[in-house]
Every structure is written in C-alpha cells, then in structure tokens.
Amino acid sequence: MATENKNLSAYDKNNLPNAEAYRFGIVVSQWNNHITHNLQKGAIDALIDLGAKEENISSFKVPGSFELIYGASQLCKKGNFDALIVIGSVIRGETAHFDYVCQGVTQGIKDLNVQQDIPVIFCVLTDDTEQQSLDRSGGKHGNKGTEAGVTAVIMAEFKKNI
C-alpha cells in the first residue's frame, strides 16, 4: 500500500517555499475529533515550521466531513486566504453511508478547486478501521495533516507565481 511505505510527515524545508507571507484557512470536522485534532495539529505545526505566522492561520469547525464542502466554499468567497486545508476522518460503518460521504466530500472539494480561485487541500482520511486513521494522524505512518500543511504552502506559492 502506498502509505505503508511512506512517512507522511517527512519533508525537506530547504526544498520548500517560505510561508511567511501567506494566510491559511483550516476547516476541521468534529466527527472522530480524536483523529481530526491530531491532523489539525500536524498541519499547523508544518505551516509554522515553514514560516507561517500563527496570526495568519485561522481554524473553523464543522460537524462532519460532508460540511467541509460548505465551510471551505464560504472561506473561498471571503477571499482572504492564500490556501485552505479541509480536515476530516471518515471511518467505515455498517452501511453504504461511508461511500456516499467519501464520494460527496471528494467531489465537492474537487469542484471548489475547479470553480474557486483558492487551492483547497484535501486532508480527509477515508479508512476502513479506526486503527488505519490512528496510524495516519501521528501514528506509525506519520501524519497526513503534516503532508497537507506542506502541500498548502506549495500551492500558495504556485498561486502567487502563475
């Protein structure tokens, strides 16, 4: 498995842009918040490590991953961010609801990246088990939140330079 052989928290600051000039919005789902809190911390720690100012990082809570779409859409319309990160943890249950939530969020965030002018970084875990989520939010596979923070800086720089 791709993540199985990858440390999601590994990055080389020397090969990355400085985030000092950029403003970041983070929308965090409260479902499985023991997972999403760790993802959020990973993202914020990476942003600050890459030079972002704490006052330029704004976090907003929504109930579940499906509401990440509306939350990010509203932040895009405000227009005062250089990149957004949406953070969620979807864990499969007994029914097909998992599939619909995952597909819905994926399509919704994809649509925002196409229709809006701000990069929206997809940090939504879609796991079959809670252990998979724990492993990817500060566990043995690192932290996808860290990966999202790094990606947000790269895309903010991309947006500035096009």
Ligand X SMILES: Nc1c(NC[C@H](O)[C@H](O)[C@H](O)CO)[nH]c(=O)[nH]c1=O
Nearer to ligand X, 63 or 129 (CB): 63
Residue 24: CB minimum distance to ligand LTPLIIQW, A: 27
How far apart (Å, rounded) are the C-alpha atoms in residues 112 and 120?
A: 7
Chain position carrying tokens 């006052």: 55
Among this protein's residues, is 34 annotated catalytic? no
Nearer to ligand X, 18 or 103 (CB): 103
Binding residues for ligand X restricted to 12-41, rule: CB under 6 A: 29, 31-32
> Taking a C-beta distance cutoff of 8 angstroms, is the pair 142, 5 a contact?
no
Nearest Cα to Cα of residue 28 among 17, 43, 12, 10: 43
For residues 28-41, one letter each, b for 16 or more C-beta atoms within 10 angstroms of the residue's C-beta and e for the rest, the string is: bbebbeebbbbbbb
Residue 66 interacts with ligand X (CB under 6 A)? yes
Residue 44: CB minimum distance to ligand LTPLIIQW, A: 25
How far apart (Å, rounded) are the C-alpha atoms in residues 9 and 42?
A: 8
| Residue 154 assigned to a binding site | no
Residue 91 interacts with ligand LTPLIIQW (CB under 6 A)? yes
Q: Which parts of this chain interact with ligand LTPLIIQW (CB under 6 A)? A: 90-91, 93-95, 97-98, 101
Active site amino acids: 97
- Binding site members: 31, 65-67, 89-91, 94-95, 122, 136
